[in-house]
Structure 1
Amino acid sequence: EGGIIVPPDGWLKELEKIARENDVLLIMDEVQSGFGRTGKIFAHEWENVRADIMTMGKALGAGLPLAGTMTTDEIDKAWEPGDHNVTFSGNPVACAAGLAGIEVMLEERLHENAHKVGEFIMKKLRDASLDAIGEVRGRGLFIGIELVKDGKKPNTELTKKVKDEMFKRGYIIGTGGMFGNVIRIEPPLTVTEEQADKMTDDLIDIIKSS
């Protein structure tokens, strides 16, 4: 887990350009970031790039194990029948759950809610101006909060403490980053601004008192 690093504006576009110029396939991993998590249906839509291959999973199954791969027609035609097959593929129950989840996401515009509430959370955390927060970054409801000490040094100990204290208050959050000092905030796409406000207040309170 890299710590939810958001590429700079234009980075993916430049990557796409290099791939096209060198006849290299552009593969987008949307397993974590897909299906509304970042405020778009797929995260690479923020840069309006076109993937040759895209991997999907997690939210695709709406709670059931389901994953998939999308390709261009050109790549798909290169495969013969039977070239790609796995033992547990084509589970009808998981596929039905996945379709239902996609329908709800689109009908209720959950990706738009993710963008709105995510921006609210990140602004509130930045406005708190806590010395222990080195950076707040992310898109939509895919948020990383880097905890530091003495200016810029990673504070892994504080990160673990904050995670444990948040759990005691009823929140399940993750940690990540190269040094284990990034708090991962990834609420459900249905979270309301009121719920996010309470969660952010609790998070700020724990960081202040730790």
Structure 2
Amino acid sequence: MPKTYRIDFENFTPDTLLFAIHADFADNPGLEERVSFLQATVPPEGGMAGVEFEESYSVMVIDYFNLKGIGIYKAFQSIPAAIGTAWSLIFKDNVSQFKRNSIGKASSDTITILNRSKTKATLGIGIGGRPAAYKKNVYVDAKAAFKISHGYYLQVHRVDGMVKYDVQTDPVKLEFAGGLNIAKVAAKLVNSSKIVISVEYDYFENARDDSKL
């Protein structure tokens, strides 16, 4: 069974904050574009939110479009994929699409995608059904390889655009060690000038996703 993780957020600052969860992909600096696959916008002064995700992977064909000046990447095909498998993108029925089954094995910690369609393609990996990383403009007969590290990190952004306080901008590594599956994230204002992030860990048998209530 895939692992399920729960992340709870508390915002004790005067600002509305966006908490964004990213996956880490090992040993490929600069080769992938990584995107936040989960986000939570949390109101100020004691606001709370929670998200939950299953550590299951999928191969994706990603489409790009522009929405009101913001670049959006969206999967237009997503197929569940096990780590250590290789996949092929083909051209069938007048559209680029994956073969429904893997075409063989990859390294034990990697998912690979071979572009056998007729055009360049943006190929990606999803976590819990949401895009997490992609490689743009993979040429025909070229391969995209994604090395899975099972690591995650958190990035925090101010929402209102007004500069009130400094925000801890470095990504915060989420360390789910020893079977722990709950991260309790708190944002606090320190010395009336800087927003800092702290994380505590716990374990629950059945983590509840309040966003689905």
Q: TM-score range by the shorter chain?
A: under 0.3
- TM-score computed with the length of structure 2 as normaliser: 0.22
Bigger RCO (CA 8 Å, 6+ sep)? 2
Structure number with higher helix proportion: 1
- TM-score computed with the length of structure 1 as normaliser: 0.22
Structure number with higher strand proportion: 2
